[in-house]
Structure 1
Amino acid sequence: METDEENAAILQSIASALKDEAILIFTTLNGLFPLSQNLNAFYADAKTEEGSTCTSTGFDLCTLRDHNTTTFTDDDGQEHTIISSERYYLPTELRTLLAGLGFTKVEFFGAHLGAFSRKNPLSQTDFEMLVVAKKELSSLTLVNLYTQACKAPLSEAYKLILKTLTLCGRELQKHLPESEVSGIYPGYLDMSYIALIPPNLKKRQLKLALVYVHEKGAFELWLAGRNRSIQAQVREELRGKLPSPYMLVEEAKGEDAIVQLRLGPLTDFTDMNLLIGKLCAMMHTMLQDLQPLLS
Protein backbone atom coordinates (compact mmCIF):
# COMPACT_ATOMS: atom_id res chain seq x y z
CA MET A 1 0.00 0.00 0.00
CA GLU A 2 0.99 3.66 -0.20
CA THR A 3 1.69 4.09 3.52
CA ASP A 4 3.04 2.02 6.41
CA GLU A 5 -0.14 2.84 8.33
CA GLU A 6 -2.28 1.19 5.65
CA ASN A 7 -0.08 -1.91 5.68
CA ALA A 8 -0.30 -2.11 9.48
CA ALA A 9 -4.10 -1.71 9.30
CA ILE A 10 -4.33 -4.62 6.86
CA LEU A 11 -2.35 -6.86 9.21
CA GLN A 12 -4.52 -5.75 12.13
CA SER A 13 -7.71 -6.61 10.23
CA ILE A 14 -6.33 -10.03 9.32
CA ALA A 15 -5.31 -10.71 12.92
CA SER A 16 -8.78 -9.74 14.15
CA ALA A 17 -10.41 -12.12 11.68
CA LEU A 18 -8.21 -15.11 12.55
CA LYS A 19 -9.05 -17.52 15.33
CA ASP A 20 -6.59 -18.45 18.05
CA GLU A 21 -3.98 -20.99 16.91
CA ALA A 22 -4.41 -19.86 13.27
CA ILE A 23 -1.41 -19.66 10.95
CA LEU A 24 -0.84 -16.65 8.69
CA ILE A 25 1.31 -17.15 5.58
CA PHE A 26 2.24 -14.30 3.25
CA THR A 27 5.06 -12.98 1.06
CA THR A 28 6.57 -9.51 0.95
CA LEU A 29 9.65 -7.76 -0.41
CA ASN A 30 12.80 -8.58 1.56
CA GLY A 31 14.42 -5.49 3.06
CA LEU A 32 17.78 -7.27 3.26
CA PHE A 33 17.96 -7.49 -0.55
CA PRO A 34 18.31 -3.80 -1.56
CA LEU A 35 20.75 -3.20 1.30
CA SER A 36 23.26 -5.53 -0.34
CA GLN A 37 22.17 -5.86 -3.99
CA ASN A 38 21.88 -3.43 -6.90
CA LEU A 39 18.20 -3.17 -7.78
CA ASN A 40 18.74 -1.97 -11.35
CA ALA A 41 21.10 -4.89 -12.01
CA PHE A 42 18.42 -7.23 -10.65
CA TYR A 43 15.71 -5.62 -12.79
CA ALA A 44 17.91 -5.92 -15.88
CA ASP A 45 18.42 -9.64 -15.27
CA ALA A 46 14.69 -10.10 -14.66
CA LYS A 47 13.63 -8.46 -17.95
CA THR A 48 10.84 -10.55 -19.49
CA GLU A 49 10.64 -11.94 -22.98
CA GLU A 50 7.54 -9.81 -23.58
CA GLY A 51 9.65 -6.69 -23.16
CA SER A 52 8.57 -5.53 -19.70
CA THR A 53 11.30 -3.45 -18.07
CA CYS A 54 11.65 -1.97 -14.59
CA THR A 55 14.05 0.78 -13.53
CA SER A 56 14.71 1.98 -9.99
CA THR A 57 14.75 5.76 -9.72
CA GLY A 58 15.92 5.71 -6.12
CA PHE A 59 15.86 3.54 -3.00
CA ASP A 60 15.11 5.48 0.20
CA LEU A 61 17.08 4.05 3.11
CA CYS A 62 14.95 5.94 5.63
CA THR A 63 11.61 4.54 4.47
CA LEU A 64 12.86 1.32 2.79
CA ARG A 65 10.84 2.23 -0.31
CA ASP A 66 12.01 1.75 -3.88
CA HIS A 67 10.67 4.30 -6.35
CA ASN A 68 10.63 2.65 -9.76
CA THR A 69 9.17 2.84 -13.25
CA THR A 70 7.82 -0.18 -15.13
CA THR A 71 7.26 -0.08 -18.90
CA PHE A 72 5.46 -2.76 -20.90
CA THR A 73 3.67 -3.26 -24.22
CA ASP A 74 0.19 -4.79 -24.30
CA ASP A 75 -1.25 -7.22 -26.86
CA ASP A 76 -2.37 -4.31 -29.06
CA GLY A 77 1.14 -2.91 -29.24
CA GLN A 78 0.37 -0.01 -26.89
CA GLU A 79 3.16 0.96 -24.50
CA HIS A 80 2.28 1.66 -20.86
CA THR A 81 4.28 3.13 -17.99
CA ILE A 82 3.58 2.54 -14.29
CA ILE A 83 5.29 4.52 -11.54
CA SER A 84 5.44 2.67 -8.22
CA SER A 85 6.63 3.08 -4.65
CA GLU A 86 7.29 -0.38 -3.20
CA ARG A 87 7.92 -1.02 0.49
CA TYR A 88 10.60 -3.51 1.53
CA TYR A 89 10.37 -4.98 5.04
CA LEU A 90 13.09 -6.14 7.40
CA PRO A 91 12.39 -9.30 9.41
CA THR A 92 12.76 -7.39 12.69
CA GLU A 93 10.02 -4.93 11.63
CA LEU A 94 7.57 -7.66 10.77
CA ARG A 95 8.34 -9.61 13.92
CA THR A 96 7.54 -6.55 16.05
CA LEU A 97 4.34 -5.78 14.10
CA LEU A 98 3.08 -9.35 14.31
CA ALA A 99 4.03 -9.82 17.96
CA GLY A 100 1.94 -6.77 18.80
CA LEU A 101 -1.04 -8.47 17.13
CA GLY A 102 -0.73 -11.69 19.12
CA PHE A 103 1.47 -13.79 16.83
CA THR A 104 3.87 -15.58 19.16
CA LYS A 105 5.93 -17.50 16.62
CA VAL A 106 7.15 -15.78 13.44
CA GLU A 107 9.44 -17.49 10.90
CA PHE A 108 11.10 -16.11 7.76
CA PHE A 109 12.15 -18.01 4.64
CA GLY A 110 13.29 -17.21 1.14
CA ALA A 111 10.31 -16.98 -1.22
CA HIS A 112 11.08 -18.97 -4.37
CA LEU A 113 8.28 -18.65 -6.91
CA GLY A 114 6.42 -21.94 -7.28
CA ALA A 115 8.56 -23.65 -4.65
CA PHE A 116 7.72 -22.20 -1.24
CA SER A 117 9.43 -24.26 1.45
CA ARG A 118 10.70 -24.08 5.01
CA LYS A 119 13.91 -25.58 3.64
CA ASN A 120 14.93 -22.22 2.16
CA PRO A 121 16.34 -20.01 4.93
CA LEU A 122 16.01 -16.27 4.29
CA SER A 123 19.13 -14.56 3.00
CA GLN A 124 20.11 -11.18 1.56
CA THR A 125 19.99 -12.65 -1.95
CA ASP A 126 16.24 -13.37 -1.72
CA PHE A 127 14.20 -10.66 -3.44
CA GLU A 128 11.06 -11.76 -1.56
CA MET A 129 10.55 -13.39 1.82
CA LEU A 130 8.01 -15.96 2.94
CA VAL A 131 6.54 -15.19 6.37
CA VAL A 132 4.86 -17.87 8.50
CA ALA A 133 3.28 -16.63 11.74
CA LYS A 134 1.19 -18.44 14.35
CA LYS A 135 -1.43 -16.58 16.34
CA GLU A 136 -1.64 -17.66 19.95
CA LEU A 137 -3.39 -15.32 22.37
CA SER A 138 -2.27 -17.08 25.51
CA SER A 139 -3.04 -15.57 28.90
CA LEU A 140 0.48 -14.14 29.03
CA THR A 141 0.13 -12.64 25.54
CA LEU A 142 -3.19 -11.03 26.46
CA VAL A 143 -1.73 -9.48 29.60
CA ASN A 144 1.30 -8.22 27.66
CA LEU A 145 -0.94 -6.64 25.01
CA TYR A 146 -3.00 -5.01 27.75
CA THR A 147 0.16 -3.66 29.41
CA GLN A 148 1.38 -2.22 26.10
CA ALA A 149 -1.98 -0.51 25.58
CA CYS A 150 -1.81 1.04 29.05
CA LYS A 151 1.60 2.52 28.25
CA ALA A 152 0.04 4.36 25.31
CA PRO A 153 -2.21 7.40 25.99
CA LEU A 154 -5.23 5.08 26.06
CA SER A 155 -6.89 6.58 29.12
CA GLU A 156 -6.60 10.12 27.72
CA ALA A 157 -8.27 9.05 24.45
CA TYR A 158 -11.01 7.23 26.36
CA LYS A 159 -11.68 10.29 28.52
CA LEU A 160 -11.84 12.48 25.39
CA ILE A 161 -14.53 10.26 23.87
CA LEU A 162 -16.58 10.29 27.09
CA LYS A 163 -16.14 14.05 27.38
CA THR A 164 -17.49 14.49 23.84
CA LEU A 165 -20.58 12.43 24.65
CA THR A 166 -21.13 14.31 27.92
CA LEU A 167 -20.91 17.70 26.21
CA CYS A 168 -23.30 16.51 23.49
CA GLY A 169 -25.76 15.54 26.21
CA ARG A 170 -25.55 19.01 27.78
CA GLU A 171 -26.02 20.68 24.41
CA LEU A 172 -29.07 18.56 23.62
CA GLN A 173 -30.60 19.25 27.03
CA LYS A 174 -30.09 22.98 26.51
CA HIS A 175 -31.88 23.03 23.15
CA LEU A 176 -34.49 20.37 23.98
CA PRO A 177 -35.46 21.10 27.60
CA GLU A 178 -38.64 19.03 27.31
CA SER A 179 -36.59 15.93 26.50
CA GLU A 180 -34.72 13.63 28.85
CA VAL A 181 -31.02 12.97 28.38
CA SER A 182 -29.65 9.83 29.98
CA GLY A 183 -26.44 9.58 31.91
CA ILE A 184 -23.44 8.39 29.95
CA TYR A 185 -22.90 4.65 29.51
CA PRO A 186 -19.08 4.29 29.39
CA GLY A 187 -19.00 0.67 28.26
CA TYR A 188 -15.96 -1.59 28.26
CA LEU A 189 -14.09 -0.33 25.20
CA ASP A 190 -16.89 -1.77 23.04
CA MET A 191 -19.36 1.08 22.85
CA SER A 192 -20.15 4.22 24.85
CA TYR A 193 -23.34 6.23 24.49
CA ILE A 194 -25.86 8.78 25.73
CA ALA A 195 -29.57 8.61 24.95
CA LEU A 196 -32.03 11.36 24.07
CA ILE A 197 -35.65 10.66 25.04
CA PRO A 198 -38.12 13.27 23.75
CA PRO A 199 -41.79 12.98 24.86
CA ASN A 200 -43.00 11.35 21.62
CA LEU A 201 -40.38 8.60 21.88
CA LYS A 202 -40.93 8.15 25.62
CA LYS A 203 -44.58 7.30 24.96
CA ARG A 204 -43.42 4.48 22.70
CA GLN A 205 -40.68 3.40 25.16
CA LEU A 206 -38.05 4.36 22.58
CA LYS A 207 -34.87 6.42 22.69
CA LEU A 208 -32.36 7.89 20.26
CA ALA A 209 -28.81 6.97 21.24
CA LEU A 210 -25.58 8.67 20.20
CA VAL A 211 -23.12 5.77 20.21
CA TYR A 212 -19.35 5.73 19.86
CA VAL A 213 -18.27 2.31 18.56
CA HIS A 214 -14.69 1.91 19.75
CA GLU A 215 -13.68 -0.84 17.33
CA LYS A 216 -14.82 1.24 14.34
CA GLY A 217 -13.57 4.55 15.72
CA ALA A 218 -16.85 6.16 14.65
CA PHE A 219 -20.11 7.61 15.93
CA GLU A 220 -23.49 6.11 15.06
CA LEU A 221 -27.09 7.03 15.85
CA TRP A 222 -29.40 4.24 17.00
CA LEU A 223 -33.15 4.21 17.50
CA ALA A 224 -33.56 1.66 20.29
CA GLY A 225 -36.39 0.25 22.37
CA ARG A 226 -36.83 -0.64 26.01
CA ASN A 227 -36.97 -4.37 25.33
CA ARG A 228 -36.92 -6.94 22.54
CA SER A 229 -40.68 -7.00 22.19
CA ILE A 230 -40.87 -3.25 21.57
CA GLN A 231 -37.93 -3.42 19.19
CA ALA A 232 -39.61 -6.15 17.14
CA GLN A 233 -42.90 -4.25 16.99
CA VAL A 234 -41.31 -0.97 15.87
CA ARG A 235 -39.01 -2.76 13.42
CA GLU A 236 -42.01 -4.20 11.57
CA GLU A 237 -43.79 -0.85 11.75
CA LEU A 238 -40.86 0.83 9.97
CA ARG A 239 -40.06 -1.94 7.51
CA GLY A 240 -40.02 -0.59 3.96
CA LYS A 241 -40.65 2.99 5.08
CA LEU A 242 -37.19 4.27 6.01
CA PRO A 243 -35.63 6.85 3.70
CA SER A 244 -31.92 6.79 2.90
CA PRO A 245 -29.45 6.88 4.65
CA TYR A 246 -31.26 5.17 7.55
CA MET A 247 -30.87 1.40 7.84
CA LEU A 248 -33.29 -1.05 9.44
CA VAL A 249 -31.34 -3.36 11.75
CA GLU A 250 -32.58 -6.94 11.86
CA GLU A 251 -32.94 -8.74 15.17
CA ALA A 252 -29.76 -10.55 16.21
CA LYS A 253 -27.96 -11.59 19.37
CA GLY A 254 -26.36 -8.57 21.01
CA GLU A 255 -28.04 -6.15 18.59
CA ASP A 256 -29.79 -3.25 20.31
CA ALA A 257 -30.62 -0.93 17.42
CA ILE A 258 -33.87 -0.82 15.46
CA VAL A 259 -32.69 1.89 13.07
CA GLN A 260 -29.07 2.82 12.51
CA LEU A 261 -27.37 5.83 10.97
CA ARG A 262 -23.63 5.63 10.40
CA LEU A 263 -22.20 9.10 10.62
CA GLY A 264 -19.04 8.53 8.61
CA PRO A 265 -15.75 10.40 9.18
CA LEU A 266 -16.83 12.68 12.02
CA THR A 267 -14.18 11.58 14.50
CA ASP A 268 -11.90 14.61 14.20
CA PHE A 269 -11.64 15.71 17.82
CA THR A 270 -9.35 18.69 17.11
CA ASP A 271 -12.32 21.09 17.03
CA MET A 272 -14.58 19.86 19.82
CA ASN A 273 -17.24 22.55 19.34
CA LEU A 274 -17.54 21.79 15.63
CA LEU A 275 -17.79 18.04 16.26
CA ILE A 276 -20.45 18.47 18.96
CA GLY A 277 -22.42 20.81 16.72
CA LYS A 278 -22.44 18.28 13.88
CA LEU A 279 -23.43 15.39 16.13
CA CYS A 280 -26.30 17.30 17.75
CA ALA A 281 -27.52 18.56 14.37
CA MET A 282 -27.64 15.01 13.03
CA MET A 283 -29.61 13.86 16.06
CA HIS A 284 -32.12 16.67 15.46
CA THR A 285 -32.41 15.66 11.80
CA MET A 286 -32.95 11.99 12.62
CA LEU A 287 -35.67 12.86 15.13
CA GLN A 288 -37.46 14.99 12.54
CA ASP A 289 -37.18 12.28 9.88
CA LEU A 290 -38.46 9.48 12.12
CA GLN A 291 -41.22 11.35 13.93
CA PRO A 292 -43.82 11.10 11.10
CA LEU A 293 -43.10 7.38 10.76
CA LEU A 294 -43.63 6.72 14.47
CA SER A 295 -46.79 8.75 15.02
Structure 2
Amino acid sequence: MNSFNNYVTEYKKQLEKGDIKKAYKGLIEYMMSLKTYFKNKYPDYFVSGNIHHGYMDITYFSFTPERLKKEKLKIAMIFNHEKIRFEIWLAGYNKKIQTKYWTLFKNSDWDKYHIPTTTEKEVSIVEHIVVENPNFDDLDTLTKQIEKGTSKFIQDIIKHLKL
Protein backbone atom coordinates (compact mmCIF):
# COMPACT_ATOMS: atom_id res chain seq x y z
CA MET A 1 0.00 0.00 0.00
CA ASN A 2 1.28 3.44 -0.91
CA SER A 3 1.60 6.24 1.58
CA PHE A 4 -0.32 9.47 1.25
CA ASN A 5 2.92 11.18 0.26
CA ASN A 6 3.44 8.66 -2.58
CA TYR A 7 -0.09 9.31 -3.83
CA VAL A 8 0.53 13.06 -3.83
CA THR A 9 3.81 12.57 -5.71
CA GLU A 10 1.96 10.55 -8.37
CA TYR A 11 -0.81 13.15 -8.45
CA LYS A 12 1.78 15.86 -9.12
CA LYS A 13 3.34 13.81 -11.95
CA GLN A 14 -0.03 13.30 -13.59
CA LEU A 15 -0.90 16.99 -13.31
CA GLU A 16 2.46 17.94 -14.84
CA LYS A 17 1.62 15.85 -17.91
CA GLY A 18 -1.36 18.17 -18.40
CA ASP A 19 -3.95 15.74 -19.79
CA ILE A 20 -5.84 15.28 -16.53
CA LYS A 21 -5.91 19.02 -15.92
CA LYS A 22 -7.29 19.70 -19.42
CA ALA A 23 -9.87 16.90 -19.20
CA TYR A 24 -11.07 17.98 -15.76
CA LYS A 25 -11.33 21.63 -16.82
CA GLY A 26 -13.28 20.60 -19.93
CA LEU A 27 -15.66 18.43 -17.91
CA ILE A 28 -16.34 21.20 -15.40
CA GLU A 29 -16.88 23.73 -18.20
CA TYR A 30 -19.30 21.35 -19.90
CA MET A 31 -21.23 20.79 -16.66
CA MET A 32 -21.47 24.58 -16.22
CA SER A 33 -22.75 24.97 -19.78
CA LEU A 34 -25.21 22.11 -19.23
CA LYS A 35 -26.50 23.81 -16.08
CA THR A 36 -26.92 27.07 -18.00
CA TYR A 37 -28.69 25.24 -20.84
CA PHE A 38 -31.22 23.68 -18.43
CA LYS A 39 -31.70 26.96 -16.57
CA ASN A 40 -32.45 28.85 -19.79
CA LYS A 41 -34.62 26.16 -21.39
CA TYR A 42 -36.63 25.38 -18.24
CA PRO A 43 -37.06 28.72 -16.42
CA ASP A 44 -39.80 27.29 -14.15
CA TYR A 45 -37.43 24.68 -12.73
CA PHE A 46 -35.17 25.35 -9.78
CA VAL A 47 -31.53 25.07 -10.87
CA SER A 48 -28.87 25.24 -8.16
CA GLY A 49 -26.55 28.21 -8.25
CA ASN A 50 -23.40 26.17 -7.86
CA ILE A 51 -21.92 23.03 -9.26
CA HIS A 52 -20.66 20.60 -6.65
CA HIS A 53 -17.23 19.40 -7.73
CA GLY A 54 -16.95 16.42 -5.40
CA TYR A 55 -13.71 14.57 -4.80
CA MET A 56 -13.06 13.67 -8.44
CA ASP A 57 -15.78 11.05 -8.00
CA ILE A 58 -18.88 12.97 -9.07
CA THR A 59 -19.71 16.48 -10.20
CA TYR A 60 -23.34 17.56 -10.06
CA PHE A 61 -25.93 20.30 -9.98
CA SER A 62 -29.60 20.12 -9.06
CA PHE A 63 -32.40 20.68 -11.58
CA THR A 64 -35.83 20.38 -10.03
CA PRO A 65 -39.39 20.99 -11.22
CA GLU A 66 -41.69 22.77 -8.78
CA ARG A 67 -43.85 19.66 -8.20
CA LEU A 68 -40.87 17.76 -6.80
CA LYS A 69 -39.47 20.78 -4.96
CA LYS A 70 -42.80 21.10 -3.07
CA GLU A 71 -42.23 17.55 -1.80
CA LYS A 72 -38.68 18.52 -0.71
CA LEU A 73 -37.22 16.37 -3.46
CA LYS A 74 -34.60 17.34 -6.00
CA ILE A 75 -33.13 16.02 -9.21
CA ALA A 76 -29.35 15.80 -9.34
CA MET A 77 -27.61 15.82 -12.72
CA ILE A 78 -24.46 13.78 -12.11
CA PHE A 79 -21.23 13.30 -14.01
CA ASN A 80 -19.62 10.14 -12.64
CA HIS A 81 -15.85 10.62 -13.07
CA GLU A 82 -14.92 7.03 -12.25
CA LYS A 83 -17.31 5.52 -14.79
CA ILE A 84 -17.23 8.45 -17.27
CA ARG A 85 -20.98 8.64 -17.64
CA PHE A 86 -23.94 10.89 -16.92
CA GLU A 87 -26.49 9.85 -14.34
CA ILE A 88 -29.59 11.39 -12.87
CA TRP A 89 -30.67 10.88 -9.29
CA LEU A 90 -33.79 11.63 -7.32
CA ALA A 91 -32.72 12.87 -3.89
CA GLY A 92 -34.29 14.39 -0.81
CA TYR A 93 -33.50 17.74 0.79
CA ASN A 94 -32.54 15.87 3.96
CA LYS A 95 -32.16 12.32 5.29
CA LYS A 96 -35.73 12.19 6.66
CA ILE A 97 -37.24 13.06 3.26
CA GLN A 98 -34.83 10.72 1.51
CA THR A 99 -35.80 7.80 3.72
CA LYS A 100 -39.52 8.53 3.37
CA TYR A 101 -39.46 8.47 -0.44
CA TRP A 102 -36.87 5.69 -0.70
CA THR A 103 -39.19 3.50 1.41
CA LEU A 104 -42.12 4.42 -0.81
CA PHE A 105 -40.22 3.36 -3.96
CA LYS A 106 -38.63 0.30 -2.34
CA ASN A 107 -41.99 -1.01 -1.10
CA SER A 108 -43.69 -0.57 -4.46
CA ASP A 109 -43.48 -2.87 -7.45
CA TRP A 110 -41.86 -0.08 -9.44
CA ASP A 111 -38.71 -1.27 -11.22
CA LYS A 112 -38.17 1.29 -13.95
CA TYR A 113 -34.90 2.61 -12.48
CA HIS A 114 -32.30 1.54 -9.94
CA ILE A 115 -33.24 1.94 -6.28
CA PRO A 116 -30.25 1.69 -3.91
CA THR A 117 -30.42 -1.15 -1.41
CA THR A 118 -30.13 1.24 1.53
CA THR A 119 -30.12 4.92 2.42
CA GLU A 120 -27.34 4.50 4.97
CA LYS A 121 -24.43 5.68 2.81
CA GLU A 122 -26.35 6.76 -0.27
CA VAL A 123 -27.80 10.17 -1.04
CA SER A 124 -30.04 9.00 -3.86
CA ILE A 125 -33.55 7.61 -3.74
CA VAL A 126 -33.67 6.49 -7.37
CA GLU A 127 -30.84 6.47 -9.93
CA HIS A 128 -30.63 6.22 -13.70
CA ILE A 129 -27.77 6.20 -16.19
CA VAL A 130 -28.67 8.84 -18.77
CA VAL A 131 -25.64 8.49 -21.08
CA GLU A 132 -23.36 5.48 -20.65
CA ASN A 133 -20.62 6.36 -23.17
CA PRO A 134 -20.67 10.11 -23.76
CA ASN A 135 -19.15 11.48 -26.95
CA PHE A 136 -17.39 14.68 -25.94
CA ASP A 137 -16.60 15.47 -29.57
CA ASP A 138 -20.28 16.31 -30.20
CA LEU A 139 -21.47 18.31 -27.21
CA ASP A 140 -24.73 19.46 -28.83
CA THR A 141 -25.85 15.86 -29.39
CA LEU A 142 -24.66 14.91 -25.90
CA THR A 143 -26.70 17.74 -24.39
CA LYS A 144 -29.81 16.57 -26.28
CA GLN A 145 -29.26 12.98 -25.09
CA ILE A 146 -28.97 14.17 -21.50
CA GLU A 147 -32.03 16.39 -21.83
CA LYS A 148 -34.13 13.59 -23.32
CA GLY A 149 -33.14 11.11 -20.59
CA THR A 150 -33.64 13.70 -17.88
CA SER A 151 -37.11 14.66 -19.10
CA LYS A 152 -38.20 11.03 -19.26
CA PHE A 153 -36.82 10.31 -15.77
CA ILE A 154 -38.60 13.33 -14.27
CA GLN A 155 -41.90 12.46 -15.99
CA ASP A 156 -41.68 8.86 -14.75
CA ILE A 157 -40.95 9.96 -11.17
CA ILE A 158 -43.80 12.49 -11.13
CA LYS A 159 -46.19 9.94 -12.62
CA HIS A 160 -45.21 7.28 -10.09
CA LEU A 161 -45.60 9.69 -7.17
CA LYS A 162 -48.91 10.94 -8.63
CA LEU A 163 -47.85 14.59 -8.28
Asked whether the two chains share a fold, i.e. TM above 0.5, the reply is yes
Contact between 2:131 and 2:145, CA under 8 Å: does it hold in 1?
A: no
CA distance in 1, matches of 2:93, 2:14: 35
Larger Rg: 1
2:39 to 157, 170, 173: 173
**1:236 counterpart residue number:** 103
CA distance in 1, matches of 2:54, 2:102: 25
CA distance in 2, matches of 1:139, 1:229: 36
Gaps of 5+ in 2: none
**1:258 counterpart residue number:** 125
Deviation per residue, 1:229-271 (Å, 9 max, x gap): 1111101222234343x11113244311100002353322111
Shift of 1:143: 2.2
RMSD, aligned CA: 1.6
Pair 1:205-2:72 in alignment: yes
- What secondary structure is seen at the aligned counterpart in 1 of 2:88? strand
Q: Tell me which amino acid in the other structure corresponds to 1:242.
A: W
Q: Tell me which amino acid in the other structure corresponds to 1:167.
A: S
CA distance in 2, matches of 1:209, 1:248: 15
CA distance in 1, matches of 2:159, 2:83: 31
Contact between 1:266 and 1:275, CA under 8 Å: does it hold in 2?
A: no
CA distance in 1, matches of 2:23, 2:30: 11
Deviation per residue, 1:146-175 (Å, 9 max, x gap): 112212321211111112211221221222
Contact between 2:130 and 2:145, CA under 8 Å: does it hold in 1?
A: no
Shift of 1:203: 0.5
Shift of 1:188: 2.0
Contact between 1:210 and 1:221, CA under 8 Å: does it hold in 2?
A: yes
Pair 1:221-2:61 in alignment: no
- What secondary structure is seen at the aligned counterpart in 1 of 2:117? coil
Contact between 1:193 and 1:210, CA under 8 Å: does it hold in 2?
A: yes
CA distance in 1, matches of 2:105, 2:115: 8
Point out which structure has higher relative CO (alpha carbons under 8 A, 6+ apart). 2
Q: Which has the higher strand share?
A: 1
CA distance in 1, matches of 2:42, 2:157: 17
Contact between 2:92 and 2:125, CA under 8 Å: does it hold in 1?
A: yes
- What secondary structure is seen at the aligned counterpart in 2 of 1:187? coil
Please identify runs of 4+ aligned residues in structure 1 that moved more than 6 A.
Answer: none
CA distance in 2, matches of 1:180, 1:209: 11
Gaps of 5+ in 1: 1-135
Shift of 1:140: 3.6
Count of residue pairs the alignment pairs up:
159
Q: Tell me which amino acid in the other structure corresponds to 2:35.
A: G
**1:10 counterpart residue number:** none
Q: Which has the higher helix share?
A: 2
Taking structure 2 as the reference length, the TM-score comes to 0.89
Shift of 1:209: 0.7
Identity fraction in percent: 27
Taking structure 1 as the reference length, the TM-score comes to 0.51
Deviation per residue, 1:41-81 (Å, 9 max, x gap): xxxxxxxxxxxxxxxxxxxxxxxxxxxxxxxxxxxxxxxxx
